[in-house]
Amino acid sequence: MELKNRHIVILSQMQFDSRLESTNYTIAKHLAKDNYVYYVDRPYTWKDYIQFKNTPGYNTRKPHFFSPKDSFIQTEIPNLKIIITPPVPSINSLPEGAIYRQALKINERIVANRLNKVIKNLGIKDYIFINSYAFYYPTMHRLLKLKPLLKVYHCVDPLIEEYQTRHGLISEDILVKDMDMVISTSKELSNTKRKLNPNSYFVPNAANISHSQKALDPALPVAGILADVKKPVIGYFGNIERRIDYDLITQLLKQNSDKNFVFVGPVAIDYENNTVFNAPNIFKKGAVPYELLPAVLKGFDVAIIPFKKDDVSSSIFPLKLFEYLGSGRPVVITDFNEDLEEFTGDTVYICKNADEFTAALNLALNDTPFLQQKRLKVAAQNTWEHRITEIKSLLATNLNNKQKG
């Protein structure tokens, strides 16, 4: 079934101008190719409002914070609008309980009031509502005056950080039970959500292959941040936080003193001073704009995903995997999610420990054009175009079933 010319409201956990490409906003952009999409940007808290004052992100939102009539940003995609809400109180530090839940109702009402005005001002008569991992607003949709035709929760990651689990575990359960359907990015997540909502589906992450493939362009210069790093370069691109196995990295640095390891991406505050980054053959480069991804990947001889193997990581399906493959780089990862082999076949080195990882790095450094072509073929089968087709089909089918029922 087709999903076309529908109005779709997406309440997102991610801000549209995040430093890294997000599943949430990528899906919004693809849905907007033949639907009308209203992406509710993650609300600033009052703390954000003060902390980020006069930053580019703040200045982009400033005209819209307190203007119900001018409350959205028109993107370069004609059918995609970014809805900006007024700032909300910072409440996550409150302990779980009645006071927090009352405060949450106030925040939900602030967001819902803005969305209600947008729906009225734009003359929207019906719409699909997608909560895209915004688990901290579990009942906001109940405050919308125009009730959605279909309510969807898109779960893109497990809740792992303390700031997420403090209230998120309770809130996400409330949200999952209240939705018409749930889409998750890993089988493990989907199986977990199915216990609360039987209408649950697995649609894995993909990648913007046309972007990462720019790394194959001979004319593209390698990113300047890698200029001081001698080859061979073993690289990681993404968030630097709890998922990474720092004990493994410590072993790899010792076993591979002839190689240089580079980590490019925003660093969570708890890991800024991790001692692993004191080794002479590791470089922490910080965050770069997503536009620089191809130039960074071009400078990698091998791309890695050194995640911990635990109950949390078994639910992670990282989109960077297919970005790596789309760039043509050899890829070495830990065996954190057994589902990944199903999608990558024998094109990715999957390792149980540091010894296997080191052996895989040495094999990967002896790459061939034949192996690169195999990787590019796998990447081409895991594009967002493929995934969006799946998601649109699920939305259309469930909408049709609900309207019939």
295's tokens: 């130039």
Average pLDDT over residues 368-390: 94
- 260: number of Cβ within 10 Å: 21
The pLDDT-based confidence of 313 (bands split at 50, 70, 90) is confident
Q: What amino acid occupies position 46?
A: W
User: pLDDT tens digits, residue range 30-88?
Assistant: 999 999 999 999 999 999 999 999 999 999 999 999 998 899 999 999 999 999 999 99
Q: Is residue 306's pLDDT more than 80?
A: yes
217: helix, strand or coil = coil
Q: If you write DSSP's letter for every residue of 221-245 in order, what string do you get?
A: PPPGGGTT-PSSEEEEES-BSTTB-
pLDDT band, very low/low/confident/very high, at 270 (cuts 50, 70, 90): confident
pLDDT at 1 over 70: no
Q: What is the pLDDT of residues 77-134, one digit of tens each?
A: 999 999 999 999 999 999 999 999 999 999 999 999 999 999 999 999 999 999 999 9
Given its phi and psi angles, is residue 369 left (phi above 0), alpha (psi -120 to 50 degrees) or beta? alpha
Helices 246-255/354-364 angle, 10° precision: 60
For 53-207, list the strands marked E by DSSP: 72-74, 80-83, 128-132, 150-155, 181-184, 200-202
249's tokens:
């990295």
Q: What global pTM score does this model have?
A: 0.86
